[in-house]
Amino acid sequence: MPIERPNMLPTGPKPGEYYQRDRDMQPPAYTPIYKTSVLRSPKNALLSIDQSLSELTGPMFNHNELGPLDNDMISNYAQDGEPIGQRIIVHGRVLDENGNGVPNTLVEAWQANAGGRYRHKKDVYLAPIDPNFGGCGRCLSDDNGYYFFRTIKPGPYPWRNYVNSWRPAHIHLSVFGPSFSQRLITQMYFEGDPLIDICPIVKTIPDAEAIKRLIAPLDMNNSIPMDTRAYKFDIVLRGRRSTLFENRLEGN
Amino acid sequence: MVQPLHMLKETPSQTAGPYVHIGLAPSYAGFDIFENNFSNEIVGPDTKGERITLQGRVFDGSGTPIRDVLLESWQANSEGKYNHPEDFQAKEIEDNFRGWGRICSDFDTGVYQLKTIKPGKVPGRNGAVQAPHISLWIVSRGINIGLSTRVYFSDETTANATDPVLNGIELVERRQTLIAKRNEADGEVVYTFDIYLQGDNETVFFDI
Ligand SMILES: [Fe+3]
């Protein structure tokens, strides 16, 4: 099946490079409070390179590749009923740093069930698997960058970092954007969760304002009465220069 | 006071964690949910170019292979053209060649494997030519923000010698960490590319 290429690009003059990553806001590789990072963090400085066609381009996806229930975690793995837990909608926009919506981009999500257990052969937490919950979903943002999922609010779960570390409730999110240099995986947290402030993984982010941008507020206006509450979560990918005086990125 | 810039800031990265497979490759997590799954085999019957396997392991600072790593690859086709609307080169691209793969390491051995074609040379900046290469993006538990690197090919010595990115690596010995070794056995071409997160052979990673 040929891969359709939906228009993901801004109109107007041909834009330039993507802005450099703000490493003061992003977690560094080596963060001893998150113990697994100690042996998995490069010790040399990253090598800064000019973006070429290899970095400005990236994979694109289209609606034919997704199923109609892929973004509905309440029904996409239901066997003989609905999953147990609090019904929620997670919605928002994929934006770039210039504030423009990022259209037609793939957003993938995964999470634990209401008890804090993942459907993963490596997860052995004693909370039970929910027979009706897979815990993964995906969708394409629309023409304005808007995306949404329906799911169950995940439970917190313990993990062996310190003796008694617990992850706050969270949803893992993976996002593309039109350039492979924008590729991002992050986690969304829920407003009001006391575990956020004491989580070693949250604390890998060195900036308090940046941490706030990972906490989704309760959105009563988009909640469905007698049915489902909503949380709003915008995702910001790297923006790019809008004026290009050095117009030779492709080299010809 | 000055005018505000009104710029947003990139969302902070968080580790993909040990269960990344649920979201990005559910069959590796041990279940079947989507009709269409992304994979490490990215060539179709009408893809042009030399069929190759790229394989290796990702080692942590203790020398142990990481067995829960996920990699994504991005590359041009055999003509050196990317399947992307910003690649304006007057070259053909096969309709079904996206050029992107998603690869999980084996939970027992840590070996990762990509089935693809060898890409062509692609344009660099200011008229330069880049040697054939595959871009890699690496995430796992313990990696706070995805690591970017490139795979070059050991049989491209001439092109590698003038590649602007390889030449930008100040320590000449470290350039070798980006070169996959070619082997041919039973008519199959296999390039081996081991990745070292730390240690004497630490792979060069980029801030792009
Ligand atoms: Fe998690």
Distances (CA, A) of B39 to A38, B1, B70, B112, B196: 30, 52, 11, 12, 24
How many angstroms from the chain centroid is the CA of residue A104? 15
Selecting from B126, B197, B206 the residue whose C-beta is nearest the C-beta of A41 gives B197
Among residues of chain B, what percentage have pLDDT more than 90? Answer: 92
Radius of gyration, alpha carbons of chain B: 18
Provide the domain count of chain B.
1
pTM for the full model? Answer: 0.94
Q: Confidence class of residue A243 from pLDDT cuts 50, 70 and 90?
A: low
CB neighbour list of residue B170: distance below 8 Å, 6 or more residues apart:
none
pLDDT (tens digit per residue) in B54-69: 999 999 999 999 999 9
Contacts with A247 from chain B: Cβ below 8 Å: none
In this prediction, residues B2-20 reach a mean pLDDT of: 95
Q: Is B8 on the interface with A (CB under 8 A)?
A: yes
Domain with B129 in it: what CATH number? Answer: 2.60.130.10
DSSP B99-153: -EEEEE--TTT-EEEEEEE----EE-GGG-EEPS-EEEEEE-TT-SS-EEEEEEE
Domain-embedded: residue B21: no
Bridge partners, A72 (sequence order) = A150
Q: Is B57 on the interface with A (CB under 8 A)?
A: no
Neighbours of ion ligand 1 (CB under 5 A): B 17
- State the nearest Cα–Cα gap between B112 and chain A, in angstroms: 17
Domain-embedded: residue B16: no
Domain-embedded: residue B86: yes
Radius of gyration, alpha carbons of chain A: 20
Distances (CA, A) of A134 to A64, A84, A183, B94: 22, 12, 24, 35
Give pLDDT, residue A6: 54
Give pLDDT, residue A146: 98
Q: Assess whether pLDDT exceeds 80 at residue A246.
A: no
Judged by CB atoms closer than 8 Å, whether chains meet at A249 and B125 is answered as: yes
Domain-embedded: residue B24: no
| Kind and range of the H or E run holding A216 | strand A215-216
Q: Which residue range forms the structural domain that includes residue B183?
A: 37-196
pLDDT (tens digit per residue) in B94-117: 988 999 999 999 999 999 999 999
pLDDT (tens digit per residue) in B133-168: 999 999 999 999 999 999 999 999 999 999 999 999
Give pLDDT, residue A217: 98
Q: ipTM, 2 decimals?
A: 0.95
Provide the token pair at B97: 């060649």
Contacts with A147 from chain B: Cβ below 8 Å: none
Judged by CB atoms closer than 8 Å, whether chains meet at A122 and B15 is answered as: no
Q: Is A120 annotated as catalytic?
A: no
Domain-embedded: residue B28: no
Domain-embedded: residue B31: no
Mean pLDDT is lowest, of A5-9, B93-97, B125-129, for A5-9
Domain-embedded: residue B56: yes
